[in-house]
A = this chain, B = another copy of it.
Amino acid sequence: MWIALDKNSGISLKRQLHSHIKEMILGGNISSGERLPSSRTLSKQLCVSRNTVLEVYEQLAAEGFLEGERGSGTVVATGISQQKRTVYKRDRTALSAPFDTKEETIDFRSGVPDPSLFPRKEWGKLYSRVCAALPPSAFRYSNFAGVWELRESISRYLFRTRGIECPPKNVMIISGATQGLALIARILSDGKNKAIVEDPIHPSILNLFSSEGYSVSGIEADDKGINTSLLPADSDVSFIYTTPSHQYPLGSILPIQRRQSLVRYASDNDCYVVESDYGNGSTFRFEGPPISSLHELNPDRVIYVSSFSKILTPALRLGFMLLPDKLVPGYKAYKMNADLHSESLSQYVMAEFINSGRLEKHTSKINKIYNQKRKQLIAELNAKFPGEFHIKGQTAGLHVLASFFETTFTEDLIRRISSCGATVYPVEDFSFQNRGRHRNEIIMGYAHLHSSEITQGVEILERVIHSRALDPRSDFA
Contact = CB atoms under 8 A, between A and B. Distances in A.
Contacts of A139: 115-116, 118, 120, 313-315
A140 B112 contact: yes
Contacts of A151: 94
Interface string A208-245: 10011000000000000000000000000000000000
A140 B340 contact: no
A326 interface: no
Contacts of A314: 139-142, 340
The 5 closest A-B pairs by CB, nearest first: A124-B131, A124-B128, A115-B139, A2-B163, A128-B128
B94 A338 contact: no
Nearest to A207: B337
Contact of A178 (B140, B169, B316, B337): B337
Copies in the complex: 2
Contact of A343 (B41, B167, B316): B316
Interface stretch (A247-255, A287-295, A430-438, A463-471): A287-295
Given A112-B140, A345-B346, 7 more contacts: A2-B290, A88-B152, A88-B168, A97-B140, A115-B139, A120-B134, A127-B127
A11 interface: no
Contacts of A144: 93, 97-98
Instruction: Decide if the interface of chain A is mainly helix, strand, loop or mixed.
Output: helix
B345 A315 contact: yes
Contacts of A91: 169
A425 interface: no
A62 interface: no
Given A161-B2, A167-B88, A345-B316, A145 B338 contact: no
Interface magnitude class on chain A: 35 or more
A322 to B, nearest CB: 14
B45 A169 contact: no
A276 to B, nearest CB: 15
Interface of A: 1-5, 29, 41, 45-47, 88, 90-91, 93-100, 112-113, 115-116, 118, 120-121, 123-125, 127-132, 134, 136-145, 148, 151-152, 155, 159-163, 167-169, 175-176, 178-179, 182, 204, 207-208, 211-212, 288-290, 292, 309, 313-318, 328, 332-333, 336-346, 364
Given A123-B131, A314-B141, A339 B178 contact: yes
A404 B332 CA distance: 37
Contacts of A99: 141
A364 to B, nearest CB: 8
A179 B317 contact: no
A21 B314 CA distance: 35
A344 B315 contact: yes
A172 to B, nearest CB: 11
A1 B45 CA distance: 62
A340 B45 CA distance: 40
25 contacts: A1-B161, A29-B159, A45-B289, A93-B144, A94-B169, A98-B144, A100-B140, A112-B140, A115-B136, A123-B131, A124-B130, A124-B131, A124-B132, A139-B314, A142-B314, A176-B339, A176-B340, A178-B337, A178-B339, A182-B338, A182-B339, A315-B344, A339-B339, A343-B346, A346-B346
